[in-house]
Chain A
Amino acid sequence: MTTPSGSVDQVAVSNTPRAKTERLMNLTMCLLSTRRALPKARIRTMVESYAGVASDEAFERMFERDKDELRELGIPLVTEHIGGAFDDEVGYRIDQRDYALPEIDLEPDELAVVGLATRTWEHAALAPSAATAWRKVSSADGTGEATETPFVGIEPSVGGGEPAFAALKDATLGARSVTFDYAKGGAGRPQTRRVDPWSLTAWRGRWYLTGYDHDRGEPRIFRLSRITSAVQATGPLTHPAPDEHDPQAAIEAIAGGERATTSAVLRVRVGAGHSLRRRARSTTTLDDDWDRVELEIPSPVAFAEEVVGYGADVVAEQPPELVDAVVARLRGVLGQGETR
């Protein structure tokens, strides 16, 4: 039998992390096992290391601190009036129903996707919480079957590796106003922004904060990867989200503009422009060297960037805005653009 270090030779009030762990565990189990709230005096006899505390004051102090620490861990330790000899006597207990994760009763395929869901946080600061969540959920159903990792070789990711993620998650859940420094795309030096968070939204592996920008006096969207400082929570929101706030629409509107609505006509050299050909609505042969490709594009200006990348292998023909945008970009590369 292993002799536990720390419980034999040490003074009874030992407060090493190990002794304290043992005491907090004993207190938790003691209060979970009782149906009736236990008065302090009784707890002092049930939890071994309290019994060794010489003075009442030292015990009181230790017990108060232990109680607070268990509550900080999320353990629902309650205080109840227990009547008895003195009307105002109080007792303590932890109700198993409030303490325990409820039976979730997951089917095997549901349990497997929960396992996969917790693995989407692998590159995020929340990874340890995700691992703990999985251990809890996979013991709750009393089956040992879930030990092996489901979906081996499949590695989805929800992102969340941005340094600002943890603090903004807390502020968004808790509805707290925040300040942070933000480097707007291309605008040079970061500026301090004061924001009431409305939603924290993932889109294509990136996280965005939507909210009310106090300095601009209107709603704004922030990309978490562009936040350059720590996030400070300041106080309650003064501008909560309006009912019609739709983060998906807002983010797609600024970040996307993805819907293809314009027809474009291109001349594409034979054997080139593969990813354009893939999206083509029609492709016709012009001669031995060139094909004509027609496709739908979202916006001529954005699409011009793609066309320019192909150099002399792809030539824009329609619409005129596309041709102009391509020529302007080429002139820009050659240093013939307008001076800035």
Chain B
Amino acid sequence: MSPRPPAEPATTRVKRLLTMVPWLVSRQGIDLAEAAAGLGVTESQLTDDLDLLFMCGYGPMTDELIDVSYEAGRVFVDNADAISRPLRLGVDEAVTVIVGLRALAASGAAPSDAVERALTKVEQACAAVSGIERVVVIPDHADAEGKDLLQSASSAVQERRRVHLSYLVPSRDERTERDVDPMRVVALDGHWYLEGWCHRARDTRLFRLDRIEALSVLDEDGTPPEGARSRDLSSGAYPSDVGHDAVTLRLRPAARWVAEYYPVQELREDGEDLVVTLAARDEDWLARLVLRGGGEIGIEAPASAAEAVMARAQAALGEYTG
């Protein structure tokens, strides 16, 4: 047996069981593994919960107890009428549904007609959540073109169709053409991305939708190759560990956003400045960042990178001063 984790508080478990029973009752005969996955518990936790439910009832007599079976790998729950309906949504639960629907309405990620109808019905069912009107999601002002693109990308993902992209790489000021097998459409930090297997890079890539100039769905199967893996986006869209050269930047107060936006490897306060080390994706990217900083971002190391940026600034200034 695996070592036991600290005992779960009874109230936490009661909460789970009261959600579990109606979920199972509405899915009689569900496969045990599928049930565990849907309920977000391990199979051994699920069987332990089911064994406990077997001892519960509205009275002490045998025919008053819940009837549970999972012998053949299929789960049946009977004689549980008292708790066969889920408990009302708690405040946090109602917030996730209502504000989540508002977010879908704001982003255009789902058919707006279904979202509006669902929102009306759910708000009615959760009328008691006071103050929820104070949690607001501001609609994206994406133009019609942007919404079409999101729709096309989403259906390409769901239908597994290969797409052709004309894609701008702003950090290199480059317009590229590529065929991509779509894997998912994902929102991150306020932008939508298409993730897919890029046949040009022979690797998984993220494409920001507002940088796609044109997307055409090709008449070809778009199932990504075996080895294609989705990226872990928990630390943002910019990979921090791709073996790029490290660069150390001094950020004046107005440029502190750099440390919020890009994954930094090291960070220290120095007076009112912030000194950070991060992975420079390439020379163009770095030059563009520092030029945009207009003096608020300085390169501490390496010196060669600092010189390259100075040369660019000098050349640009030459266009004005002759």
- Which of A53-61, A82-90, A267-275, A291-299 is the contact stretch? A267-275
- Which of B5-13, B197-205, B242-250 is the contact stretch? B5-13
Chain B residues, Cβ within 8 Å of A243: none
Which listed residue, B60, B287, B316, touches A48 by the CB 8 Å rule?
B60
- The interface on chain A, measured as residues whose beta carbon lies within 8 A of the other chain's beta carbons, has a size of 132
Q: Contact between B135 and A169 (Cβ–Cβ < 8 Å)? A: yes
Nearest CB of chain A from residue B187's CB, rounded to whole Å: 4
Nearest CB of chain B from residue A302's CB, rounded to whole Å: 11
Using an 8 Å CB-CB cutoff, how does the interface string of A103-137 with B read, 1 for contact, 0 for none?
01111011111101111110100100111111111
- A13 proximal to B (CB < 8 A): no
- The interface on chain B, measured as residues whose beta carbon lies within 8 A of the other chain's beta carbons, has a size of 127
**Docked CA distance A149–B320 (Å):** 58
Interface of chain B, helix or strand or loop or mixed?
Answer: helix
Using an 8 Å CB-CB cutoff, how does the interface string of A73-96 with B read, 1 for contact, 0 for none?
111000000000000000000001
Q: Contact between A155 and B291 (Cβ–Cβ < 8 Å)? A: no
- B256 proximal to A (CB < 8 A): yes
Q: Contact between B158 and A201 (Cβ–Cβ < 8 Å)? A: no
Q: Contact between A4 and B187 (Cβ–Cβ < 8 Å)? A: no
- B314 proximal to A (CB < 8 A): yes
- B154 proximal to A (CB < 8 A): yes
Q: Which of B306-322 contact A (CB under 8 A)?
A: 309-310, 312-320
Nearest CB of chain A from residue B301's CB, rounded to whole Å: 17
- A278 proximal to B (CB < 8 A): yes
Nearest CB of chain B from residue A310's CB, rounded to whole Å: 7
- A29 proximal to B (CB < 8 A): yes
Chain B residues, Cβ within 8 Å of A106: 118, 121
Q: Contact between A309 and B26 (Cβ–Cβ < 8 Å)? A: no
Taking each of B109, B141, B158, B315, which has the highest tally of chain A beta carbons within 10 Å of its own beta carbon? B109
B residues lining the A interface (CB < 8 Å): 7-11, 13-15, 17-20, 22-23, 25-28, 30, 34, 38-40, 51-60, 81-83, 85-97, 99-101, 103-104, 106-107, 109-111, 114-115, 117-118, 121-122, 125, 129-132, 134-138, 140-141, 154, 157-158, 168, 170, 173-175, 182-191, 211, 213, 234, 252-257, 260, 272, 287-296, 309-310, 312-320
A residues lining the B interface (CB < 8 Å): 2, 4, 7, 16-18, 20-22, 24-26, 28-30, 32-33, 45-48, 51, 69-70, 72-75, 96, 98-102, 104-107, 109-114, 116-121, 123, 126, 129-144, 147, 151-159, 169, 172-175, 185-188, 197-206, 225, 241, 247-248, 251-252, 258, 267, 272-275, 278, 304-306, 308-313, 315, 323, 326-335, 337
